[in-house]
Amino acid sequence: MPSKALENLSSVPFFAKLDDQVMAIIRQSVNSQRYAADEIVFIQGEQSTGLHIVQEGWLKAIITSPLGREQIIRLLGPGDVFNEISLLTDGRNRVTVQALEDTRLWVIGWKKMLQLMDDYPQVCQAVARNLAESVLHLMKLVEDLSLRTVKSRMARLLLENSVDGIINRRRWMTQTEMAARLGTVLDVGNRALNTLMEDGLIRVDRQRIQIMNKKKLEELATLEE
């Protein structure tokens, strides 16, 4: 792997508190993997291959029902670290991860990560911090699914993904994907989005979504069922 790419590992927040000795070992242990858009990285229930770090690109972590309905648990972008839970359980993947666009990952093998955790407490602390952040994210997801309407969840999703009132829509940011993030089906998600447009809170086109009334959208995002 190019030395410049390996140097970039130090900029990933997960590794921020690791000393030079540990980082040198990690750079020797990491492998680079490429995935095309829509390609599966790993499948829920299969044996984990290790800790994954996003170098570039975007992915989704999903759980799929027996009828094929998806719940997107999390979107994963540059600098995100995932599948740490497999290191602390039975070594199996808890979700399916799929590339949304051409993606490059760093991967540290499962056995090597366990060895690093045994040898260096700071690695254990890094895994624990990342796991805690994942738990907080899941708690927030449960809160939204349990307590808020789809319309309220749509408002929150748009606010969280906007920059200066604009959500630039990537190729994969379809309304089907948005519905899966909200834990609903396409028709219900579309109705929520259309209602926000009819109320004058947002403007939607093919390339972007523009927030027209941030204050009212923020009020809506906090409403409970």
Cα-based distances in Å from 15 to 53, 83, 167: 11, 15, 30
Could you please report the per-residue DSSP string of 50-99?
A: EEEEEEES-EEEEEE-TT--EEEEEEE-TT-EE-THHHHTTSB-SSEEEE
> Is the per-residue pLDDT at 69 higher than 90?
no
Cα-based distances in Å from 89 to 30, 92, 108, 125, 168: 22, 8, 17, 16, 38
Answer for the pair 147, 224: CB distance below 8 angstroms, yes or no: yes
Q: Three-state SS for 123?
A: helix
More confident residue, 188 or 69: 188
CB atoms within 10 A of CB 131: 15
The span from the CA of 197 to the CA of 210, in Å, is 10
CATH classification code of 3-145: 2.60.120.10
Mean pLDDT of 140-145: 90
| pLDDT, tens digit, 9 for 90 and up, residues 16-27 | 889 999 999 999
Of the options 3.10.129.10, 3.40.50.300, 1.10.10.10, 3.30.300.30, the CATH number for the domain spanning 148-221: 1.10.10.10
As a whole number of Å, the end-to-end CA separation of the chain is 51
Mean pLDDT of 208-221: 95
158, 161, 163, 168: CA torsion to nearest 10: -90
Q: What is the pTM of this model?
A: 0.89
> Is the per-residue pLDDT at 224 higher than 80?
no
Identify the band that residue 2 occupies on the pLDDT scale cut at 50, 70 and 90. Answer: low
Segments making up each domain of the chain, as ranges: 3-145, 148-221
The span from the CA of 201 to the CA of 37, in Å, is 32
